[in-house]
């Protein structure tokens, strides 16, 4: 197969003649060969490929040439759609490979006939918009082949109505559903089972590996190759699913579903709706025990006066509803389902209250309207290692950011991949000519008051020199909001006409479209804009990063992991916190140069990049930018554009 792979990455290959954007690149060809060898040997490969390598083609070509069943998992649904709709068909056509391809998403992405009919019959809607959207979904369900909500552009993906017309793992009736034969989820799974290449996303993959719910588990036994793109996201995603969580939102959903099912299947049993009301009140009271949003360790609830008594009442009300549902379960499939859900939630709540699971950390997250009780493993390495062992197959992990100075030990340790092959290819872009890394002088330490104000003042000369066309990336929403206020005032004072956009004004895609269309905008973003954002050309010529992206030390999971590593005699900062920050910083820095013709300045404001002993390790992990601390040199860079 290696000879064929070589041929497909030459100047005379079908890729070169049929794909307009294709350029033969040594890095891409070498990565494709490494992937081909891993597939041939059923090996594990961890591969970092810098921006512009063309890693998608580098894994698709050998995967399609090798034959057998392939599962590709991406970081987001957007990437999933791009792979399925654009990249895969392009490579398949160029290779003339007779492979079938399927897209599989989580069940909440597909219209559910059963819940759609329930929504129509009970009519419990809060707005006219919901009613209007429901009518469009009813029409769509009659004509769509896939039932995928992304196919209905007239109803936004985040519209509240979708919650009422899609199913969840909890409320799906499975084989007992009266509309089981029409199910879009089952249709998507059947197509995935029959396809040669299946595109999923990380959340779906891990939800399924752990919960056996979304159809991936059925795919794996027949699968020869699993490829994780954007693999740097896996430690976070895997932690989420290898742990357990219970939220007040789940309890509200249960009580609402039980109330609806009681209306159609147990109208004469008044105790059931009353118990639903009691559970909802108890869930609401538990959330109200907390004055502010955020995360905290379970131990910290000792300082929350009402937490223990309200949690006890919640457990009692949930158990009561479970008992009542058991008495009515045989009257309908829906009531049976609600009883099974209630039983599971009773057990999960007891599990969290006793907290007797070793090597896990219990913690809470308080949201605006809900509260989530979580239990997360201190390490996912052994769990994940166990999940991927057994059946011989190739596992490919790739991203633009997995290594620290070309060393993968941090990532391998987190994921339990110590035995994996590793390989690293630098970006083919000419960073010395195309870009400049600027670290301003005389900025205060990041934890001092007024730091964000100083960052904005240091950034303004460059924003003016670049004529807008800038991303400003922040490590906190508070700093982002403060910077936005200062910039508004400064733009008014200086009569600068650059459109100012901020995360939260619309969806990420809407904001990016506006940013590109303006051509001279300044966009302020937090975590959402550090990765997975691709703006090519002159519209983005300056990326400003306020601080090194160390995770907040008060995060309960991070704090517990740090304490455990230090207890074992490790240096948690150097072995865990710093590598994570470097990988995040590489993602943010990667927004700047997206094309061989792009030019721009990366401004990292944090003085620790220079003043701390670990700073050198950080900037040496970035692409080989030309570097300066001279504002005049950074400003002059834009005069060359």
| Domain membership flag for residue 178 | no
Q: What's the whole-number mean pLDDT along residues 486-505? A: 95
pLDDT of residue 81: 87
> 590 and 449 share a domain?
yes
CA–CA distance, 524 with 472 (Å, rounded to integer): 5
Q: What's the whole-number mean pLDDT along residues 560-572? A: 94
CB 342 within 8 A of CB 321: yes
Q: Which residue has the higher pLDDT, 596 or 397?
A: 397
Using the Cα atoms of residue 15, residue 16, residue 21 and residue 24 in order, give the sign of their dihedral.
Answer: positive
pLDDT of residue 554: 81
Burial class (CB within 10 angstroms; exposed 0-12, middle 13-18, buried 19+) of 628: middle
CA–CA distance, 414 with 212 (Å, rounded to integer): 23
Burial class (CB within 10 angstroms; exposed 0-12, middle 13-18, buried 19+) of 188: buried
pLDDT of residue 128: 86
Q: Which helix (H) or strand (E) holds 431?
A: helix 431-434
Domain CATH for 228: 3.40.50.300
Burial class (CB within 10 angstroms; exposed 0-12, middle 13-18, buried 19+) of 639: exposed
**Domain hosting residue 52, numbered range:** 2-106+186-241+379-425
Measured CA distances, 369 to 39, 166, 247, 283, 427 (Å): 47, 21, 11, 10, 44
- Paired tokens of 163: 């919650």
Render pLDDT for 203-259 as a digit per residue (tens, 0 to 9).
Answer: 988 887 665 555 566 777 788 999 999 999 999 999 988 888 999 999 999 999 999
Mean pLDDT comparison of 11-25, 324-338, 352-366, 448-462, highest-scoring range: 448-462
Closest CA to 112 of 205, 182, 24, 194: 182
> 28 and 126 share a domain?
no
> 399 and 445 share a domain?
no
Render pLDDT for 102-124 as a digit per residue (tens, 0 to 9).
Answer: 999 988 899 999 999 988 887 76
Measured CA distances, 228 to 48, 55, 121, 225, 499 (Å): 12, 11, 42, 10, 37
Q: How many CB atoms lie within 10 A of CB 330?
A: 11
pLDDT of residue 156: 85
> 155 and 101 share a domain?
no
| Domain membership flag for residue 8 | yes
Distance of CA 337 to the CA centre of its chain: 30
> 226 and 334 share a domain?
no
Question: Model's pTM, two decimal places?
Answer: 0.91
CB 60 within 8 A of CB 87: yes
- pLDDT grade, residue 170 (50/70/90)? confident
| Domain membership flag for residue 547 | yes
> 469 and 385 share a domain?
no
Closest CA to 316 of 340, 357, 264, 281: 281
> What's the chain's average pLDDT?
91
> 148 and 259 share a domain?
no
Could you tell me which residues come within 8 angstroms of residue 114 by beta carbon, excluding any fewer than 6 positions away? Answer: 167, 173, 177, 178, 179
- Paired tokens of 203: 């959340």
CB 500 within 8 A of CB 491: yes
pLDDT of residue 76: 83
Domain CATH for 284: 1.20.1440
- Paired tokens of 106: 């989580």
> 358 and 441 share a domain?
no
> 305 and 406 share a domain?
no
Closest CA to 471 of 399, 431, 426, 531: 531
Q: Which residue has the higher pLDDT, 548 or 208?
A: 548
Render pLDDT for 254-307 as a digit per residue (tens, 0 to 9).
Answer: 999 999 888 888 888 889 999 999 999 999 999 999 999 999 999 999 999 999
pLDDT of residue 446: 95
CA–CA distance, 115 with 375 (Å, rounded to integer): 31
Alpha helices in 329-408 (DSSP H): 333-354, 381-388
| Domain membership flag for residue 235 | yes
Q: Which residue has the higher pLDDT, 575 or 76?
A: 575
pLDDT of residue 503: 94
Q: Which residue has the higher pLDDT, 208 or 314?
A: 314
Q: Which helix (H) or strand (E) holds 238?
A: helix 234-242
If you write DSSP's letter for every residue of 108-119 in order, what string do you get? Answer: GGBB-HHHHHHH
On the question of pLDDT at 563 being above 90, the answer is yes
pLDDT of residue 7: 84
CB 179 within 8 A of CB 143: no
Question: For the chain, how are helix, strand and coil distributed in percent, rounded to 5?
Answer: 55, 15, 30
Closest CA to 183 of 114, 120, 134, 121: 114
First to last CA, the chain: 44
| Domain membership flag for residue 174 | no
Q: What's the whole-number mean pLDDT along residues 614-638? A: 95
pLDDT of residue 213: 52
> 368 and 223 share a domain?
no
pLDDT of residue 145: 93
pLDDT of residue 124: 67
Render pLDDT for 80-98 as a digit per residue (tens, 0 to 9).
Answer: 888 999 999 999 998 889 9
> 216 and 98 share a domain?
yes
CA–CA distance, 641 with 632 (Å, rounded to integer): 15
| Domain membership flag for residue 552 | yes
Render pLDDT for 139-163 as a digit per residue (tens, 0 to 9).
Answer: 999 999 999 998 898 888 878 899 8
pLDDT of residue 66: 93
| Domain membership flag for residue 177 | no
Q: Give how many domains the chain has, as a whole number.
A: 4
| Domain membership flag for residue 173 | no
Q: How many CB atoms lie within 10 A of CB 623?
A: 22
> 362 and 403 share a domain?
no
Could you tell me which residues come within 8 angstroms of residue 128 by beta carbon, excluding any fewer than 6 positions away? Answer: none
Q: What's the whole-number mean pLDDT along residues 307-334? A: 94
């Amino acid at each position: 197969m290696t000879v064929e792979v070589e041929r497909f990455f030459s100047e005379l290959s079908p890729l070169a003649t049929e794909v307009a954007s294709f350029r033969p690149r040594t890095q891409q060809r070498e990565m494709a060969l490494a992937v081909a060898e891993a597939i041939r040997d059923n090996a594990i490969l961890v591969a970092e490929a810098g921006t512009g390598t063309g890693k998608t083609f580098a894994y698709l070509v050998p995967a399609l040439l090798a034959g057998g069943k392939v599962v590709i998992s991406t970081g987001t649904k957007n990437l999933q759609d791009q792979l399925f709709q654009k990249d895969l068909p392009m490579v398949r056509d160029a290779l003339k490979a007779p492979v079938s391809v399927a897209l599989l998403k989580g069940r909440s992405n597909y219209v559910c006939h059963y819940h759609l009919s329930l929504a129509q019959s009970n009519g419990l809607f809060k707005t006219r918009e919901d009613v209007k959207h429901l009518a469009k979904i009813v029409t769509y369900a009659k004509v769509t082949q896939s039932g995928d909500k992304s196919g209905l552009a007239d109803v936004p993906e985040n519209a509240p109505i979708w919650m009422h017309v899609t199913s969840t793992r909890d409320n799906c009736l499975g084989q007992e559903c009266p509309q089981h034969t029409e199910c879009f989820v089952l249709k998507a799974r059947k197509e995935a089972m029959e396809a040669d290449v299946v595109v999923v996303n990380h959340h779906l993959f891990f939800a399924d590996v752990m919960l056996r719910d979304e159809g991936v588990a059925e795919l794996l036994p027949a699968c020869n190759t699993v490829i994780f793109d954007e693999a740097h996201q896996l430690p976070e995603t895997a932690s989420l699913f290898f742990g357990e969580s219970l939220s007040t939102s789940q309890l509200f959903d249960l009580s609402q579903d039980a109330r609806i099912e009681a209306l159609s299947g147990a109208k004469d049993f008044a105790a059931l709706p009353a118990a639903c009301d009691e559970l909802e009140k108890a869930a609401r009271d538990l959330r109200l025990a907390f004055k502010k949003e955020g995360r905290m360790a379970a131990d910290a609830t000792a300082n929350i006066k009402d937490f223990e008594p309200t949690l006890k009442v919640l457990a009692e009300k949930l158990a009561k509803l479970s008992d009542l549902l058991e008495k009515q379960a045989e009257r309908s499939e829906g009531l049976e389902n609600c009883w099974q859900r209630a039983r599971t939630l009773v057990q999960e709540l007891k599990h969290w209250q006793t907290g007797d699971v070793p090597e896990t950390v219990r913690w809470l997250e308080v949201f605006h309207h809900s509260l989530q009780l979580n239990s997360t493993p201190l390490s996912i390495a052994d769990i994940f290692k166990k999940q991927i062992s057994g059946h011989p197959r190739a596992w490919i992990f790739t991203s633009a950011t997995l290594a620290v100075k070309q060393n993968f030990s941090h990532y391998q340790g987190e994921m339990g991949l110590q035995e994996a092959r590793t390989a690293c290819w630098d970006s083919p872009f000419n960073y010395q000519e195309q870009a400049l890394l600027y670290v301003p002088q005389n900025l205060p330490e990041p934890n001092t008051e007024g730091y964000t104000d100083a960052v904005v003042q240091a950034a303004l000369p460059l924003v003016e020199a670049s004529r807008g066309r800038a991303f400003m990336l922040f490590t906190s929403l508070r700093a982002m909001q403060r910077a936005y206020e200062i910039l508004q005032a400064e733009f008014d004072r200086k009569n600068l006409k650059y459109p100012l956009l901020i995360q939260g004004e619309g969806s990420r895609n809407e904001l990016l479209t506006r940013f590109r269309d303006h051509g001279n905008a300044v966009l302020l973003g937090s975590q959402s804009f550090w990765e997975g954002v691709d703006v090519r050309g002159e519209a983005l010529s300056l990326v400003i990063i306020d601080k090194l992206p160390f995770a907040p030390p008060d995060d309960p999971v991070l704090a517990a992991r740090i304490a455990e590593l230090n207890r074992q005699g490790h240096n948690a900062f150097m072995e865990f916190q710093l590598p994570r920050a470097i990988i995040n910083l590489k993602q943010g820095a990667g927004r700047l140069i997206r094309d061989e013709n792009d030019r721009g300045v990366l401004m990292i404001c944090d003085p620790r990049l220079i003043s701390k002993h670990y700073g050198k390790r950080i900037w040496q992990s970035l692409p080989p930018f030309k570097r300066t601390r001279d504002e005049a040199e950074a400003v002059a860079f834009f005069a060359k554009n």
